[in-house]
Structure 1
Amino acid sequence: MDGTGITQDKPRPDGGWSHEIEDVPGALVVPPTESAFRQAAGVLRADGSHCETGAFWRNHRPLTLTPDAPAGEVETLEGRWLWAGVLWVHFGHFLVESTGRLWGLDASQQEFDGILYIPKRPARGEEIAGWQRAFWGLAGIDLPVHVATAPTRVETLVVPGQGFGLGEIISGTPAFRSFMTRFAEDIAPDGPERLYISRSKLGLSKGGLIGEERLEHELAAQGYEIFHPQDHDLPTQIARYKAAKQILAAEGSALHLFGFVGRSDQKVAMVLRRQSGATDMIAEHLRSFCGIETVQIETLQRILKKKGGYKKRHDLGVIHMEQLRQALVANGFIEDTAPWKTLRWGDVRRVIGDKYEPRKR
């Protein structure tokens, strides 16, 4: 035990509690009361003991810690509900960290009255986005979804282990991978054979590639559709991902959605924008679920960080255009062309002003 009240090891794709499922009669669900990286929240059994199978892990540690039982009266929820864990509003974190218990819908032999989450950010309350409802629908889920914002006693709570997430569990348990084979199965491929998944419309405040617009111009000349996934609904995104034979993408959350619908005959390359373990997580997701060996292309002149900042996920990568062109040619993603024009520091400075500085590699 490390002071969190959690005694179990991290979830693993090949065995352990991530494969288990527990029926908890009279469960007490305790949501977080403050927004923090690690939060006291989760599931208590009727006798007050902590149901560790319901804990939410990232990498090597739990992010939900053993909560105290609240005093006084609590809300009640009748019926039989599936514990789905923490509900993220962030697209990528939702895909990876709010879906990993849905396999319990197949594992249980009885009907459910709904799916139960707690919010990651208490200030968001019971908010559920339209695209999240669309995701559940594409997974064949036609059940009420409830977000508990206050301590709630549940008549029967079915608690599956965490079958997917960030860390070793990104490979997914067999039960979770099997559940996701139904995802978007009715969406037909629709789109070109070459697709570039862009981040250029997202702005640079949350990290990105400097020179991406120039890259898009070059790729469009090679027959790539420049695709901005946030401009389209989930069925359109999935139709594009199913249709493409060659997919280039600025490293990011969109590839996790692709990971649920991709095929082994598709070629995928990530244009890296930072130095991050998240890149390897995406690659392992595609390898485990799709049988795709993702090409990782890191051709950056430099990596910039916000002055006074510490969040590496907000770093900016400055593309070395000619090295990137050569890498794409070598890996069969584009035809050989004349050299691509180099990004000059003056061009970069006009984008970043005085808010960034080089990060040591």
Structure 2
Amino acid sequence: MSNQSTLREAQRFPPHPEQGWSRRIERLHNPVVVPPATRGFIQPTGVLRANGGYCAQAALWRKSRPLTVRPEPPEGPVAPLPGRWLWGGVLWRHFGHFLVESTGRLWALPGLPEGVDGVLFVPKNPGSELAPTGFHNDFLALAGVSRVFLATAPVRPETLYVPGQGFGLGRIVDGTDHCRRFFRHGFARSVAPDGPERLFISRSRLGRGRGKLLCEDWLDRALQAEGYEVFHPQDHDLRTQIARYKAARQVIGTEGSALHLFAMVARPKQQLAVVARRVSTATGFILRHVRSFGGIEPLLVNTIRREWVPEGESAARLRMSELDFAAAQAALAAGGFVAEPAGWSAPNADALARARKEASDTPLAPI
């Protein structure tokens, strides 16, 4: 397909896991990379060709629309960046969005004929704290990235390889075969499995104002009694997290970003049960990610009895839910994750009221 046809296709259609521009790599000489100038959900930022044309293949899509659109050419001189670089796209600071929306072009690294000096990103938002954090650097190192360049001002790389978006949110969450192959064979190969056969990935220690199950510590204790290690991923470095995820034969996880990392290293011999904490399309994306990358058919345990949200808020990520413990135990038992139901201890009304008060700086309103 010609560059013009690729351009038109990338401008019109979101990335597709099985065909189209998501599977191609474009090589650009002396393009201009323009970072975002302002914060926003949809931002002018991306890659301009040497002749000033827009490289639509470099755009980040979410579901059916691009989150990055054509930027204006920068005024004045643009700093050169010698060497060969891979376009990484937008670098998100949020752990979950980084995993899903900043890694979808790494698949191209093993197949480049001459290698690259590093991966070139633009920040999601301009600001004072732009440097990649520890988990960014650790993840990218495990992906074989030797150097990261974050363009906080316009820059002109000598050579830029622009892979299509092989992973993300929307239909592309299934990943292209190139992307799935990269994570199966090229990511975290140096991390050996280390941990118990049963693992519960818990959110009970997350701070105030974070979406969670109310009284999730009760679930911690119930699953610990069933032989599960209660694992709080935010308390561990990335290598430890991956080692635990590789080692476990049965994994139960409260729905959240950690399960995207699990999906990147999961294998078909493992079992996963996802305990829903909200009614959201994000839950479906996690299930599809695990199914496609790990070859696992996850069990969804959706036994939410009631949802709450901080007053004045509506975002699904902030919802806090009351779990029907008896129904959750029955679902997990039916899936072979725990023993036959014998009656888990469940929080009473007073315990739930205390949990709601402790979970948020503002009062919670029922949905």
TM-score by length of 2: 0.93
Who is 1:3 aligned against?
Answer: none
Aligned twin of 1:358: 366
Indicate which of 328, 333, 337 corresponds to 1:329: 333
Q: CA-to-partner distance for each residue in 1:89-138, whole Å, 9 max, x for gaps? A: 11111111111111222232112122100001211554111222111221
Of the three residues 350, 353, 362, the one matched with 1:349 is 353
Q: Does 1:139 align with 2:149?
A: no
Distance (whole Å) between structure 2 residues aligned to residue 146 and residue 126 of structure 1: 11
Structure 2 CA distance for aligned equivalents of residues 324 and 163 of structure 1: 35
Deviation at 1:326, TM superposition (A): 1.2
What does residue 273 of structure 1 align with?
277
Q: Aligned residues, how many?
A: 354
Match of 2:99 among 95, 98, 101: 95
Structure 1 residue 153 displacement after superposition: 1.5
Q: Which residue identity is paired with 1:118?
A: V
2:16 pairs with one of 12, 16, 41: 12
What residue in structure 1 maps to residue 303 of structure 2?
299
Query: CA-atom RMSD, angstroms?
Result: 1.5
Q: Equivalents in 2 of 1:124, 1:77: separation in Å?
A: 22
CA distance in 2, matches of 1:307, 1:83: 41
Whether contact under 8 Å (2:222, 2:345) holds in the other structure is no
Deviates more, 1:132-141 or 1:94-103: 132-141
Letter aligned with residue 165 of structure 1:
G
DSSP 3-state at the match of 1:200: coil
For residues 109 and 18 of structure 2, the distance between their equivalents in structure 1, rounded to whole angstroms, comes to 20
The answer to whether the 8 A contact 2:90-2:122 is kept is yes
Letter in 2 for 1:40: P
After TM superposition, the structure 1 stretch with the greater mean CA deviation from structure 2, 79-88 or 123-132, is 123-132
Deviations 1:278-325 (A, max 9, x none): 111111111111110010001112011121112111000111111111
The answer as to 2:45 corresponding to 1:37 is: no
* Alpha-carbon separation, structure 2, partners of 1:179 and 1:329: 35
Q: How far is 1:57 from its partner?
A: 0.6
Match of 2:153 in 1: 150
Is 1:172–2:175 an aligned residue pair? yes
Q: State the 1:34 CA deviation.
A: 1.4
Per-residue deviation, residues 59-101 of structure 1 (Å, max 9, x unmatched): 1110001101111122221121111000011111111111111
How far residue 358 of structure 1 moved from its aligned partner, in angstroms, is: 1.3
Are the equivalent residues in 1 in contact too, given 2:215–2:355 (CA < 8 A)?
no
Report if aligned partners of 1:199, 1:208 keep a CA contact under 8 Å in 2: yes
Give the structure 1 partner of residue 133 of structure 2: 129
> Quick one: which of 118, 121, 128 aligns to 1:117?
121
4+ residue runs over 6 A deviation: none
Cross-structure match for 2:237: 233
Contact conserved, 1:320 with 1:343, CA < 8 A, in 2? no
CA distance in 2, matches of 1:312, 1:258: 22
Q: Which amino acid aligns with 2:27?
A: D
| Residue pair 2:272, 2:299 contacting (<8 A) in 1 also | yes
Structure 1: where are the runs of 5+ without partners?
A: 1-5
Alpha-carbon displacement from aligned partner over 1:41-71 (angstroms, at most 9, x marks no partner): 0000111111000000111110001101111
SS in 1 for 2:119: strand
Matched residue SS, 1:241: helix
- What percent of counterpart residues are identical? 49
| Alignment counterpart, residue 184 of structure 1, candidates 188, 193, 201 | 188
- Kept in 2: contact 1:8–1:52 (CA 8 A): no
Question: Which whole-Å CA distance do the structure 1 matches of 2:187 and 2:212 have between them?
Answer: 29
Could you tell me which of 268, 287, 299 is aligned with 2:291? 287
Structure 2 alignment gaps of length 5 or more? 1-9
Read off the aligned partner of 2:180 and give its amino acid letter.
R
**Distance of 1:206 and 1:15 partners within structure 2:** 37
How far apart are the structure 2 equivalents of 1:102 and 1:338? 47
Partner SS state of residue 177, structure 1: helix
Give the SS at the match of 1:49.
Answer: coil
Contact between 1:119 and 1:125, CA under 8 Å: does it hold in 2? Answer: no
Instruction: Give the stretch that moved more between structures: 46-55 or 107-116.
Output: 107-116
In structure 2, the partner of 1:214 is: 218
Q: Distance in 2 between matches of 1:291 and 1:28?
A: 39
